[in-house]
Amino acid sequence: MAGTLYVVATPIGNLGDLSPRAAQILTGAAAIAAEDTRHTAALLRHLGAGAEMVSVHAHAPARALERVLRLLDAGKDVALVTDAGTPAVSDPGASLVAAARARGAAVVTVPGPSAVPAALAVSGLPADRYLFLGFLPRKGGERRRLLDAVRRSEWTVVLFEAPTRAAALLADLAEACGGDRPAAVARELTKLFEETRAGTLAELAGYYAATPPKGEITVVVAGIGRPPPVEPGPDFAARARALLESGLSRRDVADRLAVETGIARNTAYRLVNQL
């Protein structure tokens, strides 16, 4: 019978946040699949655990995954951890979980700390629904596309960033979303110098440009609070033209187009008048 892969959340800062169940799993597992074995060794020493460790980082070779899978095949339990927080949430782990499932091993979550809900909880921004985008690419079209996704998001957006790039991210967000968009920056969550600063994107960009931050950074940006407007496309114009040719008035065509496509009525009326 195959062993169990336990996906174990570990503290994002304060060791006191490690749950008793997580401690029990880490001390009882036959092996620990770790993002950074040196980092995890300190946690295991704190627990008095001496399990074998396997390095399973973001660029780990296939043989590292295979080593863990062989342990599971032999009926041994393995705990998957990353440097901080919940594995596979903007951290390595998803490929190992998928491979373990494919081999018939049970995969069990041991939930706990994560910077995403922690930052949302102290941001003061709505968190009934949210969009998590993790780390944005440093440059290029994909960065611009994701910045636009933040701009258009109906819901609060959560991002991670390195401290050296936090000011640049905030400046780009202010440019994309408008400087008056509410946001919050959570820094060093659960650690000695924990700080959460709320304000507009322009205020936060200016502050962190003048006061470069240190430590782990989580950025929370308010959504627009409504579905993003639907931009009219060429097919909308073709539909409007067909409705006009059927004999409907411009006003009736605009009304019909708004109902059929979901675009705002004034947008539809402007489109009709441009034909």
Report the share of the chain in percent with pLDDT over 90: 78
Reported as half-sphere exposure (CB side, CA atoms, 13 A), residue 179 has a value of 7
The predicted structure's pLDDT at residue 212: 95
> Which of 181, 215, 184, 183 lies closest to 197 in space, CA to CA?
184
The dihedral sign for the CA sequence 11, 16, 19, 23 = positive
The predicted structure's pLDDT at residue 233: 58
- Asked if pLDDT for residue 193 goes beyond 90, the answer is yes
Q: Average pLDDT for residues 95-120, to the nearest whole number?
A: 96
- Split at pLDDT 50, 70, 90, the class of 94 is very high
The predicted structure's pLDDT at residue 75: 96
User: Quick check: helix, strand or coil at residue 197?
Assistant: strand
User: Quick check: helix, strand or coil at residue 77?
Assistant: coil
As a whole number of angstroms, the distance between CA 154 and CA 218 comes to 19
> Which of 87, 90, 3 lies closest to 40 in space, CA to CA?
87
195-247 pLDDT, tens per residue? 999 999 999 999 999 999 999 999 999 999 988 766 655 588 888 888 888 98
112-170 pLDDT, tens per residue? 999 999 999 999 999 999 999 999 999 999 999 999 999 999 999 999 999 999 999 99
> Which of 158, 166, 169 lies closest to 133 in space, CA to CA?
158
The predicted structure's pLDDT at residue 232: 55
CA angle at residue 72 from 68 to 73, to 5 degrees? 115
Taking the model in full, what pTM does it have?
0.81
